[in-house]
């Protein structure tokens, strides 16, 4: 592993991956007022550009990767991206924030699923470029949401809270104490100080003693 001023280089055998650290070191831009009605022009342009770059990356996947599960997933997300943002154009300032948030989350949810699925592959170093392609696009969407005051709920390992968590499954385990979130199924969000949607989670339950 090497680390430059703003780049982290990971290597395993012949596999090398570069991760841009500037996204973690730069100050986050100030969010727009919570009562903003229409999407600011710059936010719209940022996501549309990131979407174009992601779709281009999906188009240029090598043939072997395209036929893999992760490759098919990326191509599906690229098609979804084109469909979701088909009615958005550079300079269009008449897209309501509420509509835009739904569009961002629709794509980001599938990116989250794709990244988690890729981490569960037998060889975590396989398809590193494809994982980074998804992560870069996810970062662009997350930054856009942040500027619109949409913040993720950090649920993994937390005590189950029915006010912000939606339990979709109970897992019996003695590895953690009871009523802990052991896995996020779908990330939840706050919009300002209000709950936008709860996090869908799997919750722990201690096995019954015999």
For 167, phi then psi, to 5°, come to: -75, 120
Which is more confidently placed, 136 or 23? Answer: 136
Q: What is the DSSP string of 50-109?
A: HHHHHHHHHHT--HHHHTSHHHHHHHHHHHHHHHHTTT--TT----BHHHHHHHHHHHHH
Confidence of residue 127 (pLDDT cuts 50, 70, 90): confident
Distance of CA 149 to the CA centre of its chain: 16
Quick one: tokens of 72?
A: 């098919």
pLDDT of residue 90: 55
> For residues 138 and 107, is the Cβ–Cβ distance under 8 A?
no
Structural domains of the chain, with CATH: 2-148 (1.20.120), 152-210 (2.30.22.10)
Residue 14 in this model has a pLDDT that exceeds 70: no
Residue 128 in this model has a pLDDT that exceeds 70: yes
pLDDT of residue 89: 67
Residue 126 in this model has a pLDDT that exceeds 80: no
pLDDT of residue 178: 93
User: Among candidates 191, 197, 190, 186, which has minimal Cα distance to 97?
Assistant: 191
- Going by the DSSP 8-state scheme, the letter that residue 176 receives in this structure is S
pLDDT tens-digit map of 50-78:
999 999 999 999 998 899 889 999 999 99
Residue 10 in this model has a pLDDT that exceeds 60: no
Confidence of residue 185 (pLDDT cuts 50, 70, 90): very high
DSSP H stretches of helix in the chain: 22-25, 41-59, 63-66, 69-84, 97-119, 128-147
Collapsed DSSP state (helix, strand, coil) of residue 206: coil
Residue 96 in this model has a pLDDT that exceeds 90: yes
**What is the separation, in whole angstroms, between the first and last Cα of the chain?**
48
| Cβ neighbours around 71 below 10 Å, total | 18
Average pLDDT over the chain reads: 86
Which is more confidently placed, 28 or 42? Answer: 42
> For residues 35 and 147, is the Cβ–Cβ distance under 8 A?
no
Q: Which residues contact 188 (CB under 8 A, 6 or more apart)?
A: 152, 153, 155, 164, 165, 166, 195, 196, 197, 198, 199, 200
């Amino acid at each position: 592993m090497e680390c430059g001023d703003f780049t982290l280089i990971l290597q395993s055998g012949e596999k090398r991956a570069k991760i841009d650290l500037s996204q973690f070191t730069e100050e986050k831009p100030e969010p727009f007022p919570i009562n903003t009605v229409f999407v600011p022009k710059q936010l719209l342009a940022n996501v549309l550009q990131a979407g174009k770059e992601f779709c281009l990356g999906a188009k240029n996947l090598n043939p072997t990767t395209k036929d893999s599960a992760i490759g098919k997933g990326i191509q599906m997300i690229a098609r979804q991206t084109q469909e979701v943002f088909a009615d958005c154009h550079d300079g269009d300032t008449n897209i309501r924030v509420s509509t835009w948030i739904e569009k961002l989350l629709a794509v980001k949810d599938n990116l989250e699923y794709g990244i988690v699925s890729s981490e569960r592959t037998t060889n975590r170093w396989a398809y590193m470029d494809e994982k980074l392609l998804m992560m870069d696009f996810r970062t662009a969407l997350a930054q856009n949401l942040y500027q619109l005051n949409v913040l993720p709920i950090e649920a993994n390992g937390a005590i189950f809270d029915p006010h912000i968590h939606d339990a979709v499954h109970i897992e019996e385990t003695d590895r953690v104490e009871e009523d802990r979130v052991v896995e996020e199924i779908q990330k939840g969000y706050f919009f300002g100080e209000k709950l936008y949607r709860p996090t869908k989670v799997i919750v722990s339950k201690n096995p019954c003693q015999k």
